[in-house]
């Protein structure tokens, strides 16, 4: 069975793009923020694809129930972020971040909408300094990072382990050599890399 691993491939392409940015800008760009932001896109798409495949392979119960629950929790986090970001994060951000909405109104609005609808992680693209493009050169204050890390912490302890349980349950009970099995591996790899990169910053909330 041929399977191109599209989500992992997209993540790898993003990695190459960001690595090239790091080399070109002599590490002035922010690798972690850019990678978390861009990796969020194939992550969410892979979660959605996995839930659909689980539904057609196993029905409503079992792995699909867990995957759907994880997706629902992810959506709730995004919805909450969409409320908190313009009301709490933007007003308390540094001037460079506020200036993005004035100097690059349309692109900033576009990136924010993606972060509200698709993944809260994508909001980091505006503070990534990717390729040192001015539209990505915003800065968070310490308070902003504290607020963002709270969302990261919720993700780490709720939707992420739920989706990993769904993946583990499917691999333990169903045939690995299937499209659902291959997407399961992609989800585990992509989400685990993203979560690991967020973890160290997120635990700072607990310390505080």
Q: What is the pLDDT along the chain (208 residues), one digit of tens a residue?
A: 678 999 999 999 999 999 999 999 999 999 999 999 999 999 999 999 999 999 999 898 899 999 999 999 999 999 999 999 999 999 999 999 999 999 999 999 999 999 999 999 999 999 999 999 999 999 999 999 999 999 999 999 999 999 999 999 999 999 888 999 999 999 999 999 999 999 988 877 665 5
The domain segmentation of the chain, as residue ranges, is 6-207
DSSP annotation of 132: G
Q: Kindly report the pTM of this predicted structure.
A: 0.94
Q: Residue for token digits 């099995």?
A: 181
Confidence (pLDDT) at 51: 97
Q: What is the CB neighbour count within 10 angstroms for residue 56?
A: 10
Alpha carbon separation from 38 to 35, 116, 138 (Å, rounded): 5, 14, 16
Alpha carbon distance 58, 207 (integer Å): 42
Alpha carbon distance 87, 63 (integer Å): 37
Confidence (pLDDT) at 143: 93
Alpha carbon distance 12, 65 (integer Å): 29
Alpha carbon distance 94, 54 (integer Å): 44
Alpha carbon distance 19, 22 (integer Å): 5
Q: Cα 65–68–72 angle (5° rounding)?
A: 135
Q: How many helices (H) and strands (E) does the chain have?
A: 8, 0
Terminal CA-CA length for the chain: 50
């Amino acid at each position: 069975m041929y399977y191109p691993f599209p989500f992992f491939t997209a993540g790898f392409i993003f990695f190459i793009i960001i690595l090239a940015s790091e080399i070109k800008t002599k590490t002035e760009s922010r690798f972690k923020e850019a990678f978390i932001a861009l990796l969020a896109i194939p992550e969410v798409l892979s979660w959605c694809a996995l839930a659909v495949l689980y539904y057609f392979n196993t029905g409503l119960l079992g792995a699909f129930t867990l995957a759907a629950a994880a997706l629902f929790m992810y959506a709730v986090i995004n919805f909450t972020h969409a409320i908190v970001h313009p009301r709490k994060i933007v007003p308390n951000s540094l001037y460079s971040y506020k200036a993005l909405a004035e100097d690059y109104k349309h692109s900033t609005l576009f990136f924010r909408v993606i972060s509200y609808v698709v993944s809260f992680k994508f909001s980091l693209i505006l503070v990534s300094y990717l390729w040192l493009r001015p539209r990505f050169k915003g800065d968070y204050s310490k308070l902003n990072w504290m607020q963002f890390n709270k969302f990261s912490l919720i993700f780490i302890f709720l939707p992420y382990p739920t989706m990993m349980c769904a993946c583990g349950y499917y691999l333990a009970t169903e045939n690995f050599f299937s499209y659902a099995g291959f997407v399961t591996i992609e989800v585990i790899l992509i989400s685990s890399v993203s979560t690991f990169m967020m973890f160290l910053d997120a635990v700072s909330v607990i310390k505080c």
